[in-house]
Chains A and B, each alone.
Chain A
Amino acid sequence: MSTELLQAAAETNQWWAIGPEMILGCAALGLLVLEIVMPKDKRKLIPHVAMMTLLVVLAGVGLNFDTEWKDQELFGGLILLTDAGQVARVFFLLSSLLVCYFGTVCLPRARAPRVEFYHIVLVVTAALMLLAQSNHFVMFFVALETVTIGFYILVGYYRESTRSLEAGLKYLVLGALSSAIMLFGIVLIYGAVGKVGLEGGAHTGFEFSVVADFLRHHPDNFLATAGALLVLGGVAFKIGAFPFQIWIPDVYQGAPTPVTAFLAVSSKAAGFAVLLTLVHRVFAPLEGVLVPLLSLLAAATIIMGNLSALTQHNTKRLMGLSGVSHAGYLLLGVTASISVPWAAGAVWFYLFTYMLASMAVFGVMAHLAGADDADQELEHYERLARDRPFLGAVLAIGVGSLAGIPPLAGFMGKLLLFVAAFQAHLYWLLAVALGSVVVSIYYYFGWIKAAFFESWQPSGNATSPSVRPVPAAPSWVGVAVMATLALATVLLGFYQAPLTSWLLK
Chain B
Amino acid sequence: MSIGLDQYLMLSAALFATGFFGVLLRKNTLVIYMCLELMLIASTLALVAFSKFNGTLDGNVFVFFILTIAAAEVAVGLALIVALFRRRHTIQVEELNQLKH
A interface residues, Cβ below 8 angstroms from B: 138, 141-142, 145, 149, 152-153, 156, 159, 162-163, 165-170, 172-173, 176-177, 179-181, 183-184, 186-188, 190-191, 194-195, 197, 204-206, 249-250, 253-254, 312-314, 317, 374
Contact = CB atoms under 8 A, between A and B. Distances in A.
Nearest to A194: B54
Contact of A191 (B33, B46, B61): B46
Contacts of A165: 80, 83-84, 87
Q: Which 7 A-B pairs have the closest CB atoms?
A: A194-B54, A180-B39, A191-B50, A250-B99, A165-B84, A204-B58, A183-B43
Contacts of B69: 141-142, 145, 149
Interface in B50-101: 50-51, 54, 56, 58-59, 61-62, 65-66, 69, 72-73, 76-77, 80-81, 83-84, 87-88, 96, 98-99, 101
A190 B43 contact: no
Contact of A152 (B16, B33, B47, B80): B80
10 contacts: A138-B58, A152-B80, A165-B87, A169-B77, A173-B29, A173-B33, A176-B36, A180-B19, A187-B50, A204-B58
**Which of A168, A172, A180, A249 gathers the greatest number of chain B CB atoms within 10 Å?**
A180
Nearest to B49: A191
B42 A172 contact: no
Interface of B: 9, 16, 19-20, 23, 29, 32-33, 36, 39-40, 42-43, 46-47, 50-51, 54, 56, 58-59, 61-62, 65-66, 69, 72-73, 76-77, 80-81, 83-84, 87-88, 96, 98-99, 101
A145 B72 CA distance: 9
Nearest to A177: B23
B77 A317 contact: no
B59 A194 contact: yes
Contact of B101 (A138, A187, A312): A312
A370 B96 CA distance: 23
Nearest to B41: A180
Contact of B98 (A166, A168, A186): A166
Contacts of B98: 162-163, 166
Contacts of B88: 162
Given A169-B77, A205-B58, 10 more contacts: A138-B58, A145-B72, A159-B83, A163-B99, A166-B84, A166-B96, A170-B99, A184-B43, A194-B51, A312-B101
Contacts of A253: 99
Nearest to A137: B62
Nearest to A161: B87
A373 to B, nearest CB: 12
A187 B73 contact: no
**Which of A179, A183, A312 gathers the greatest number of chain B CB atoms within 10 Å?**
A183
Contacts of B23: 173, 177
B77 A152 contact: yes
A233 to B, nearest CB: 12
Given A149-B76, A177-B36, A194-B59, A184 B46 contact: yes
A48 to B, nearest CB: 28
A375 B33 CA distance: 29
Contact of B62 (A138, A172, A312): A138
A190 B39 contact: no
A291 B19 CA distance: 31
Contact of B73 (A149, A163, A250): A149
Given A142-B69, A165-B87, A177-B23, A317 B80 contact: no
A197 B53 CA distance: 11
Contacts of A180: 16, 19-20, 36, 39-40, 43
Contacts of A138: 58, 61-62, 65
B65 A183 contact: no
Nearest to A317: B101
B7 to A, nearest CB: 14
